[in-house]
Structures are given as structure tokens and as C-alpha cells.
Amino acid sequence: MISFARANTYFEQLNTCLIGLSVDSNASHLAWVYDIYCRTGIKIPFPIIADRNGEIARRYGMISNNVSNTETVRNVYIIDDKGVVRLILIYPMNVGRCIPEILRTVQALQIADLNKAATPANWIPCEPLIVPIPQNFDDLLTRKNEINKNRNGINWYLSFKQPENCTLLDEKNDDEC
């Protein structure tokens, strides 16, 4: 929770809201949040939902009926503004989450959607995107000519373009980085 709290500004810059979910009670959440604040000075800026019976967690496949209701589960769900689950990261209990990777993934989803394209393996924000394959033969020939002219691909089935409206997080608001 501390790492997500520290990164909250970056998530907000991506128009993303963090939400915690726990099978503990609201009183337990308040105790955690207060203890974190007293020991670190960090305020948890996002809500933590008390899912006492695990109903929400089970609906999203976070835990199964065979798993303890009290053990910590380290799942990350990226849900878009239409309520569609776009990505699920499942971390073992002994492995911490990677906040930079979660931020990169949110950015990749947003940029790919905005540009109607795909991000290649190991994509870094603002690097070229993969252009969708042509839908007919004439588009294939046009694509082949574009690649020959612009040197922006390997063949008609794999070409690239620079993303539109891509801004690195640090460029969005230097005061908060």
C-alpha cells in the first residue's frame, strides 16, 4: 500500500484511480492506514474496500473457495472506464508488485487504444507502435509501398508508427515527479 500511495500521483497523471480490496474489516483498514501514517508520514490517498466475505474477490477470480479467506493475495486488475477488465497480474505472496511495470502497462493500454495499434514486446512509453495488419489486398500493397518509402517496417504484416499524444509521465507534471 505504501508503494502504491507513493506512486498515486503518477496513476492520477494517467487518469487512473487506485482502489484497494481486502477481506479485512473497515476498522482493520483504518488501523493499517493510521499505523502507516504514524510510522512513515504517508497518507493512503485511495479507498480500500472491505470485502469481509470475499465475494468481490471471488467474482474477479482473485481467490478460490479452496484458499484461506485470510491470506494476502497480490493481484492487480486494470479495469477500463467501461468496466472491462483489461489486464490481470497475479503475484505470488512472496513477490512484491512492480509499480513501474503497472504504470507502463496502463500507459501501453491507453496509447494502444488511442492510436488503434499495438505495443510490441518490451515497449517503452512513446516508442513506435505496431500498425494493425491490412484488411485487404489493396491495403497490403499500400502498406508495402509505405514501408519501402518510410523504412518503418519489416513487411506488410509488421510495420510501425510513432504514437500520437504520447507523453512520458515525467513530462506531464515535473512538479509532482
User: Could you tell me the domains of the chain?
Assistant: 2-97 (3.40.30.10), 104-176 (3.30.1020.10)
- pLDDT (average), residues 75-99: 91
pTM listed for this prediction: 0.85
pLDDT digits (tens, 9 = 90+) for 104-157: 999 999 999 999 999 999 999 999 999 999 999 999 999 999 999 999 999 999
Average the pLDDT over each of 37-41, 52-56, 108-112, 143-147 and give the range with the smallest value: 52-56
Q: How far apart are CA 25 and CA 76, in angstroms?
A: 20
For residue 130, list its beta bridge partners.
118, 160
Q: How far apart are CA 69 and CA 58, in angstroms?
A: 10
By C-alpha distance, which of 63, 12, 137 is closest to 145? 137
